[in-house]
């Protein structure tokens, strides 16, 4: 849907721009020569194009190259992002791309471990997903017994990383703030080195290794991140379909970096309420601001 909207914006910008240009170079001079006043008898569709062209062009540039708004549709990124959060995604963080073919024409940066990224779901590029970057190209990732292990890519300046997998430091924070399927979720703080953030674990749900995405030459629950791709996970670890299940995110699928919550609605309604569930019940002002 998001890509269709981008295509619509491009088409409207081109059509109204062409009409504006033709009027300025050809039709307006003819009207002026005929009647002496260029503004007289401008067709409605020409006048409309002149009015909306700069607005649509501005929106196209803003949305395609600078910032784009997204809504959080599920709880896979709790507790960092909640259903009802509306976020801003920085489009220029990982390169500038054209809005239709999404071909990158300018390099501006690469994801860092811990970034929250929006990307095109590899199995269906028409769907936008949001997850946290855990593994960079060349990293080895293991997720075993709800514990995350990372071995960074081995380089000449990073010989220690080649020795063994290192568990990501975690610290228990609380229990019961979030409930899922009648179970009180456990909240932990996880330190990825570049950023610390909170994750949720289900107290009883076990990992099902056979459902995880596996690579040839690696053991169950282990992944070696290919060059030009990224390993992503949801912060709600036991309620997230992510790289553990469907694989890696190619650089070409990246949309941008989630940087801020600009508004957050809550939708707490009882089953007997007559008001539709999509109508907000309040605004969570305390959630507005930057994202970690």
**Which is the catalytic residue, given 6, 49, 64, 76?**
76
CA 60, chain centre distance (Å): 18
Residue 247 · residue 257 · CB < 8 Å: no
**Helices and strands: H and E segment counts in the chain:** 4, 18
**CB atoms closer than 10 angstroms to residue 288:** 14
270 is catalytic: no
For residue 111, which phi and psi values (nearest 5 degrees)?
Answer: -60, 145
Nearest-angstrom CA–CA distance, 165 and 162? 8
**CB atoms closer than 10 angstroms to residue 188:** 19
131 is catalytic: yes
Residue 260 · residue 290 · CB < 8 Å: yes
**Which is the catalytic residue, given 91, 97, 131, 257?**
131
CA 51, chain centre distance (Å): 32
Computed on alpha carbons and rounded to an integer, the radius of gyration of the chain in Å comes to 24
Within the chain, residue ranges assigned H as helices are 2-22, 28-35, 44-61, 243-246
Catalytic residue positions? Answer: 76, 131
């Amino acid at each position: 849907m998001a890509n269709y909207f981008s295509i619509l914006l491009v088409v409207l910008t081109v059509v109204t721009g062409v009409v504006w240009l033709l009027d300025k170079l050809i039709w307006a001079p003819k009207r002026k020569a005929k009647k002496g006043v260029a503004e007289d008898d401008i067709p409605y569709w020409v006048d409309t194009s002149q009015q909306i062209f700069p607005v649509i062009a501005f929106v196209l540039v803003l949305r395609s190259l600078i910032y784009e708004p997204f809504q959080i549709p599920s709880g896979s990124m709790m507790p960092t992002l909640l259903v009802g959060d509306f976020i801003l995604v920085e489009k220029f963080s990982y390169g500038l791309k054209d809005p239709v073919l999404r071909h990158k024409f300018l390099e501006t940066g690469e994801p860092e471990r811990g970034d929250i990224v929006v990307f095109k779901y590899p199995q269906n590029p028409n769907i936008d997903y949001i997850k946290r970057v855990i593994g960079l190209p060349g990293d080895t990732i293991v997720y075993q017994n709800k514990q995350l292990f990372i071995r960074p890519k081995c380089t000449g300046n990073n010989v220690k990383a080649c020795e063994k997998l290192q568990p990501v430091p975690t610290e228990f924070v609380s229990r019961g703030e979030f409930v899922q399927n009648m179970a009180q979720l456990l909240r932990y703080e996880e330190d990825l080195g570049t950023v610390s953030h909170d994750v949720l674990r289900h107290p009883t749900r076990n990992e099902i290794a056979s459902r995880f995405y596996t690579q040839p030459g690696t053991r169950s629950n282990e992944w070696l991140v290919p060059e030009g791709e990224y390993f992503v996970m949801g912060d709600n670890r036991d309620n997230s379909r992510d790289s553990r299940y469907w694989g890696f995110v190619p650089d070409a699928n990246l949309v941008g970096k989630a940087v801020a919550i600009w508004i957050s609605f809550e939708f707490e309604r009882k089953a007997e309420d007559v008001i539709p569930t999509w109508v907000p019940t309040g605004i969570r002002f305390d959630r507005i601001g930057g994202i970690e």
